[in-house]
Amino acid sequence: MTTYFFNDTAALTGRTLRHVTRSMDTIITTAITPVAMMLMFVYVFGGAIDTGSAPYVNYMLPGILLMTIASGISYTAYRLFTDVKSGIFERFQSMPIARSGVLWAHVVTSLVANVIALVVVVGVAVLMGFRSGAGVLAWLAVAGILLLFTLALTWLAVIPGLSASSVEGAGAFAYPLIFLPFVSSAFVPTKTMPGPVRWFAEHQPVTSIVNTIRNLFAQQPVGDDIWTALAWCVGILVVAYIFAMAAYRRKIA
C-alpha cells in the first residue's frame, strides 16, 4: 500500500491541480475580495486610521493575506465536496490505491492554489505602494507562517468538504474566518477597541500571526508573537487534522 502512496498521490494531485488551472476564475475570486478590501481600506478608510508613519498598505497587508487564505480554502472544501457528491471519491476509494492519497491530493492542491492567490495579492499590494526591506530569511519566515496557516485551514476545510450536505454548507464555514481579521490587529491597532472586543482581538489567532508577519516585513523584532502564532497554527492544524480524519473514516466506513 505505502509503496504506491507517492505515485498515487502524485497522480491524484495532477488531477486536482488541473481543476485549478482549468478554472483560473477560482484564483481570481479568491484574490478579489482581499484586493477589494485592500483598495477600500487604503484609499477610503486608511487616511482616518492612525497606524504610525509607515504607509497604511504596509500595515494591513498581513491581515489581507490571511483573508486571502481564508477565502481560498473555501474552494478546497468545495472541490472535495464535489468529488464526494459526484461519486468519483467512491470510485477512487474502491480502487487498489493508497486511499488517503485522495485527501492528500486535495491538501497539496489547496497549498498550491493559495500560494498563487497570495502571490497575486502581494503583487497588487506592491502596485499600491507596499514596500518591505525584509531580507531573504524574513521573507522565508513569512512564507513559512503563511504556508503553515494555509495547511491548518486546509485540514479544517476538509471537514465540511467531507461531511457537508450541500455546496453552500461546504463553503459557508469560511465566512467567519474571512471576517476574523476585522476583529484583530489587522486593520486598526487593538488598543483603540473597547474592553471585551479588545480582549478577544488580542487573544485570537489572527492578531499574533498578523503582528509576526508585520514585524518581519518591517524588520522589527518579532518577540513572543511568533511563538504564539506558531502555537495557534500548529494547534489548529492538529485539532483540524484529527477531526478531518474522523470525518474521513466515517466516510470510508
The residues binding another protein (CB under 8 A) are: 1, 4, 7-8, 11-12, 14-15, 18-19, 22-23, 86-88, 90-97, 252-253
Which residues, 6 or more positions from 10, have their beta carbon under 8 angstroms from its beta carbon? none
Q: Which is nearer to another protein, 4 or 227 (CB)?
A: 4
CB of 88 to another protein, least distance (A): 4
Q: Which is nearer to another protein, 8 or 225 (CB)?
A: 8
* Residue of 67, 155, 141 lying closest to 108 (CA atoms): 155
Q: Which is nearer to another protein, 22 or 191 (CB)?
A: 22
CB of 115 to another protein, least distance (A): 21
CB of 27 to another protein, least distance (A): 15
Q: Which is nearer to another protein, 92 or 104 (CB)?
A: 92
Q: Which is nearer to another protein, 13 or 68 (CB)?
A: 13
C-alpha cell at 167: 455546496
DSSP 189: -
CA quadruple 158, 163, 165, 169: dihedral positive or negative?
A: negative
Q: Which is nearer to another protein, 16 or 208 (CB)?
A: 16
Length of the chain in terms of residues written? 253
d(CA 126, CA 42): 13
CB of 166 to another protein, least distance (A): 16
DSSP 12: H
* Residue of 222, 217, 215, 213 lying closest to 63 (CA atoms): 213
CB of 72 to another protein, least distance (A): 18
CB of 12 to another protein, least distance (A): 7
C-alpha cell at 145: 507562517
For residue 43, CA distances in Å to 53, 117, 194 come to 16, 22, 25
Q: Is 157 exposed, middle or buried (0-12, 13-18, 19+ CB in 10 A)?
A: buried
CB of 21 to another protein, least distance (A): 10
C-alpha cell at 194: 473597547
Q: Which is nearer to another protein, 134 or 245 (CB)?
A: 245
C-alpha cell at 178: 474571512
C-alpha cell at 144: 513559512
d(CA 140, CA 31): 21
